[in-house]
Amino acid sequence: MNAPGLPAIVRAFYALAPTESVRARLAELGRDVARRSRGRAVAPENAHLTLAFLGDVADAALPELHAIGHRLPSTGFELEFDSLGAWRASGVAWIAPSVLPPELPALHAQLAQALNDAGFAHETRPFRAHVTLARRCLQPLPRTRCAPIVWAVDRVLLIGSELRSEGPIYRELGAWPLRMAA
């Protein structure tokens, strides 16, 4: 509970979320990767690709974050995830596209610019498009190719997260549909 007079805070990020069928394939792969790397698979409902991590923001900022979401491009695109890897220092195993469609870095850049223009602090490390499959991996697997998982990107989400010892809990704070080109 927030103290009187202090703003309510939410830990937020913009992300792409997979369809249920892609989520199921990622979960199956995540369980296998976690088993082989002696890690912990990410909960299937938490699968996402982060576009921009904001960190802690005041609830009062949510209307402006929604306005930014409404101004994003509305064209969907396909991602083909076909590369497995790990960041050994953090014990994270991931899957990523070996080739980025031009729409993804363009979407990321437009979102970053909109956040900058509105005065929002956000993660500024180089964009690495990936979906985390497992955490706390004791024996991270070497980078390798895998059977492709094709994801038709059809929406952008604003997500609020609450960190817990058993893993994060996510809730949707906003969603903007993307139309696939005919």
Give the pLDDT mean for 21-45. 96
Question: How many independent structural domains does the chain possess?
Answer: 1
The whole domain housing 103 covers 9-177
Residue 39 sits in a domain of what CATH number?
3.90.1140.10
pTM of this structure:
0.90
C-alpha 95/C-alpha 85 separation (Å) is 6
Residue with more model confidence, 27 or 5: 27
Confidence of residue 1 (pLDDT cuts 50, 70, 90): very low
182 located within any domain: no
C-alpha 129/C-alpha 120 separation (Å) is 21
1 located within any domain: no
User: Each residue of 118-160: pLDDT tens digit?
Assistant: 999 888 888 999 999 999 999 988 999 999 999 999 999 999 9
Q: Six-digit token pair at 7?
A: 């703003």
99 located within any domain: yes
170 located within any domain: yes
For 38-173, where are the alpha helices, taking DSSP H only?
62-70, 103-117
pLDDT at residue 181 in the model: 66
- What's the Cα-to-Cα distance from 148 to each of 79, 80, 95, 130, rounded to whole Å? 10, 6, 10, 13
Residue 41 CA, chain-centre distance (Å), reads 16
pLDDT at residue 73 in the model: 85
b/e code 77-97 from CB counts within 10 Å (16+ = b): bebebbbbbbeeeebbbbbbb
Strands laid side by side in the 155-162 sheet: 49-58, 9-16, 155-162, 169-177
Instruction: Provide the 3-class DSSP secondary structure of residue 18.
Output: coil
Please answer whether residues 50 and 14 qualify as being in contact, where contact means their C-beta atoms are separated by less than 8 angstroms. yes
3 located within any domain: no
User: Each residue of 66-122: pLDDT tens digit?
Assistant: 999 999 988 899 999 999 999 988 999 999 999 999 999 999 999 999 999 999 988
